Amino acid sequence: MSQQRHGNPPGNAGAVTAFPDLPEATIARLPEYLRALHNLAENGSDTVSSEGLAAAAGVNSAKLRKDLSHLGSYGTRGVGYDVALLIDQIEYILGLDERRAVALVGVGNLGHALAGYDGFASRGFRIVALFDADAERVGKPINGLLVRHIDELGRAVVEEGITIGVIATPAGAAQAVADELVAAGVTSILNFAPCVLSVPAGVDVRKVDLAIELQILSFHEHRKASLTALPGGRADESGIEAVGS
């Protein structure tokens, strides 16, 4: 799994860039900037101001500038940022130039959809293997890829150079799958199962729980409903969420 040197960031021949340790909050926003930049590039923009990019990404312009400043100085005062250069920079930082191989475990309801989701392929990833424990599903093709039995996971991870695993199994099976992924050498896991995973230090886990997102919205609905139902309660909020697309 360990790849070696990456050399220097593209378009910046001389500088030996130590790997920057960016704030987590910044890292989480870089992909959003990247998406906005790709949109701008498609629309033919060569440069963009922090104000413009911030609007497109839905953030404050000062925050955007501070985020980008952590990557280095890639803007030009009085002009803005070079769109193509910034795309290269962010893709380099995120490690997207490698088109990482991803394994997807669990091709049930959700997993099936994920296997067919073209957003992965178009944004820097290759799903190279699908696994399931159910014999009914093994051997059938999804999107041109055969579902393999989970027992083959270890071998496939090594052979295909898989570095990221996606878990889309029921909660009950998720921990066992995570253990197998880790044992096979995977060090990053995206977990869609509604449960907490226990992994060794050095392994990163991100969790997406669809029901939790709804429950958070439900709280705000509940709160808003209480406010409007009350005498003197105010329906409007002072915050502004509107953002240019």
Is residue 96 within the footprint of a copy of itself (CB under 8 A)?
yes
> Per this entry, what is the length of the chain?
245
Is residue 187 within the footprint of a copy of itself (CB under 8 A)?
yes
CA–CA separation, 183 vs 150, rounded Å? Answer: 13
DSSP secondary structure code for residue 141 in this structure: E
What is the DSSP pairing of strand 162-167 with strand 188-191?
A: parallel
Is residue 43 within the footprint of a copy of itself (CB under 8 A)?
no
Is residue 65 within the footprint of DNA (CB under 7 A)?
yes
Q: Which of 137, 117, 135 is nearest to 127 (CA)?
A: 117
Is residue 128 within the footprint of a copy of itself (CB under 8 A)?
no
Stretch that binds a copy of itself, among 1-9, 40-48, 67-75, 81-89 (CB under 8 A): 1-9
**Nearest-10 Cα torsion for 60, 61, 63, 68:** 140
Instruction: Name the binder of 233 from a copy of itself, DNA, none, CB < 5-8 A by kind.
Output: a copy of itself
Q: Which of 196, 208, 129, 138 is nearest to 163 (CA)?
A: 129
Instruction: Name the binder of 66 from DNA, a copy of itself, none, CB < 5-8 A by kind.
Output: DNA
Write 192-196 long-range contacts (CB < 8 A, 24+).
192/110, 192/111, 192/114, 192/166, 192/167, 192/168, 193/106, 193/167, 193/168, 193/169, 195/171
Is residue 197 within the footprint of a copy of itself (CB under 8 A)?
yes
Is residue 40 within the footprint of a copy of itself (CB under 8 A)?
no
Return the residues of window 199-228 that contact a copy of itself according to CB under 8 A: 199-206, 208-228
Is residue 89 within the footprint of DNA (CB under 7 A)?
no
Is residue 8 within the footprint of a copy of itself (CB under 8 A)?
no
Contact 61, 50 (CB under 8 A): yes
From residue 20 to residue 59, the character string flagging contacts with DNA as x (rule: CB under 7 A) and all else as - is ---xxxx---------------------xxxx-------x
Stretch that binds DNA, among 2-10, 71-79, 206-214, 218-226 (CB under 7 A): 71-79
Positions touching DNA (CB under 7 A) are 23-26, 48-51, 59-63, 65-66, 68-69, 73-81
